[in-house]
């Protein structure tokens, strides 16, 4: 991994950590107290999400690297400030895939299935991490870990929205049944998280 990619991942993770734990101008003390944990939880959740995309894209023999999206960073910070942290825009960057070409210059394009698998892989990792954070919270009694549960469920759901810049678009155009099933799981998980975990967030 090149230094530029590490830098971009670090910047994106720091911004996401802030927007996830920001509780509004009147609660800066809470935000500051949560920020260290947020940095750990978001870094783990976000970086694993992006590395899943990177892994599968490279598995299909294409070059892939994470790049920050400055406009996305600005939108994330702006919406967090405007909504007092009520809405998190979780698209500060993305793994960019560069299609492979052979010695003759013929481009080997990824199939819809390959793009769909690359797209859904990040959110699958987030759902697995959400389960892990929940189990850890139940086992240790450290309720702050539920914040990690919520972060991962939201990252999974947000990225499965089927619009062009998000992973859900690729999954939707690969297999609508898989997209619908997984998106429904993400929605149900978020509803349960809001019902049962809100007191701990």
| 188 or 109, greater pLDDT | 188
Q: How confident is the model at residue 35 (pLDDT cuts 50, 70, 90)?
A: confident
Contacts of 117 by beta carbon, 8 Å cutoff, 6+ apart: 56, 174
Give yes or no for residue 102 having a pLDDT over 70.
no
**Which of 41-55, 100-114, 163-177 is least confident?**
100-114
Q: How confident is the model at residue 98 (pLDDT cuts 50, 70, 90)?
A: confident
Model pTM score: 0.90
**Per-residue model confidence as pLDDT tens digits over 8-17:** 999 999 999 9
Q: How confident is the model at residue 41 (pLDDT cuts 50, 70, 90)?
A: very high
Contact 83, 22 (CB under 8 A): no
Give yes or no for residue 100 having a pLDDT over 90.
no
| 37 or 101, greater pLDDT | 37
Report the candidate in 132, 145, 194 with the shortest Cα–Cα distance to residue 34: 145
CA dist., res. 135 & res. 123, Å (int): 18
In order of 39, 75, 97, 134, 159, the CA distances from 170 in angstroms are 29, 22, 13, 29, 10
Q: How confident is the model at residue 105 (pLDDT cuts 50, 70, 90)?
A: low
Within 10 angstroms of residue 30's Cβ, the number of other Cβ atoms is: 14
- pLDDT score recorded for residue 185: 98
| 169 or 86, greater pLDDT | 169
Q: What is the mean pLDDT of residues 156-170?
A: 94
Give yes or no for residue 127 having a pLDDT over 90.
yes
Q: How confident is the model at residue 159 (pLDDT cuts 50, 70, 90)?
A: very high
Contact 188, 157 (CB under 8 A): no
Catalytic (active-site) positions: 50
């Amino acid at each position: 991994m090149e230094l530029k990619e590490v830098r971009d991942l670090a910047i994106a993770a720091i911004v996401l950590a802030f927007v996830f734990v920001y509780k509004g101008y009147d609660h800066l003390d809470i935000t500051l107290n949560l920020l260290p944990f947020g940095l750990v939880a978001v870094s783990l959740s976000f970086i694993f999400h992006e590395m899943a995309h990177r892994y599968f894209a490279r598995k299909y023999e294409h070059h892939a690297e994470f790049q920050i999206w400055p406009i996305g960073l600005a939108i994330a910070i702006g919406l967090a400030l405007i909504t007092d942290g009520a809405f998190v825009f979780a698209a500060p960057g993305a793994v960019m895939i560069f299609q492979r070409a052979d010695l003759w210059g013929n481009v080997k394009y990824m199939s819809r299935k390959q793009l769909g698998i690359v797209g859904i892989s990040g959110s699958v990792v987030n759902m697995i991490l959400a389960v892990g954070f929940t189990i850890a919270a139940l086992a240790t009694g450290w309720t702050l870990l539920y914040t990690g549960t919520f972060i991962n469920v939201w990252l999974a759901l947000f990225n499965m929205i089927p619009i062009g810049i998000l992973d859900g678009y690729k999954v939707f155009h690969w297999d609508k049944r898989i997209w619908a099933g997984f998106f429904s799981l993400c929605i149900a998980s978020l509803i349960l998280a809001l019902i049962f975990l809100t007191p701990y967030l």
